[in-house]
């Protein structure tokens, strides 16, 4: 969800005001996704690299995050949306950890959509943490090294129940993965938009979904009927 800071600068506001403005984009996007039958949505809210930002900005973001969780809890319950945290959650301030745990418990029965907030998250760090879990199991004799395979690694990630993303959307003109879901995104489709995140609404989400549905996903295979070939022949 890129562009909060740039949006704030363009409007002559402090960077934190840009993050506040991005809340409406989050709310509209989440509600639209749930309405349209999307079962899983992950928002990259705070990366492990974001800890390197100025201390006052990070502190402001953490306070804002705790307030955001408290404010949005009722809406998530009403819309039957289950919230899950994803990342090195133990690195977050206690106030945020408590607020996240409260909302996760309150929304655990949500059966319409699972919303994951990637917090203190990094794709490389997730793989590293998973490998360390596997090594510990091998050392303790719970697992043989020769039996480690792709499914073993997938099961060691932060949320093994999370399916690989079909579509990754990048806002604000950024064209890179930025350490997001590196393991899971191996066959994801990408959609890039120049729209800054605070201006992102369901209209932009719909454009991304239409773009996604225009693609042919082969997963390395040769299709018996390839619509892309038929269209050009």
Residues catalogued as catalytic: 2, 50
At 100, list the tokens. Answer: 């996240």
At 67, list the tokens. Answer: 């307030």
Give the C-alpha separation, 215 to 217, whole Å. Answer: 6
At 32, list the tokens. Answer: 């639209």
**Residue with structure tokens 């402090």?**
14
Rg (Cα) of the chain, in Å, rounded?
Answer: 19
Residue 118 contacts residue 88 (beta carbons within 8 Å) = no
Give the C-alpha separation, 136 to 171, whole Å. Answer: 39
Give the C-alpha separation, 137 to 152, whole Å. Answer: 11
């Amino acid at each position: 969800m890129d562009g909060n800071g740039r949006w704030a600068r363009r409007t002559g506001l402090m960077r934190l005001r840009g993050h506040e403005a991005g809340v409406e984009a989050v709310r509209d996007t989440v509600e639209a996704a749930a309405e349209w039958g999307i079962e899983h949505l992950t928002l990259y809210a705070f990366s492990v690299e974001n800890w390197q930002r100025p201390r006052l900005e990070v502190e402001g973001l953490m306070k804002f995050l705790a307030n955001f969780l408290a404010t949005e809890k009722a809406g998530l319950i009403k819309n039957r949306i289950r919230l899950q945290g994803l990342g090195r959650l133990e690195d977050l301030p206690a106030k945020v950890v408590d607020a996240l745990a409260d909302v996760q418990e309150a929304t655990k029965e949500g059966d319409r959509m699972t919303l994951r907030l990637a917090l203190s998250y990094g794709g490389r760090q997730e793989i590293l943490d998973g490998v360390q879990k596997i090594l510990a199991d091998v050392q303790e004799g719970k697992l043989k090294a020769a039996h480690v395979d792709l499914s073993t690694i997938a099961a060691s990630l932060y949320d093994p129940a999370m399916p690989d993303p079909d579509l990754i959307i990048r806002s604000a003109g950024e064209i890179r993965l930025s350490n997001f879901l590196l393991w899971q995104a191996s066959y994801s489709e990408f959609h890039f938009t120049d729209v800054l995140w605070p201006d992102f609404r369901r209209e932009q989400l719909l454009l991304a979904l239409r773009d996604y549905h225009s693609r042919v996903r082969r997963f390395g295979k040769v299709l018996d009927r390839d619509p892309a070939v038929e269209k050009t022949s």
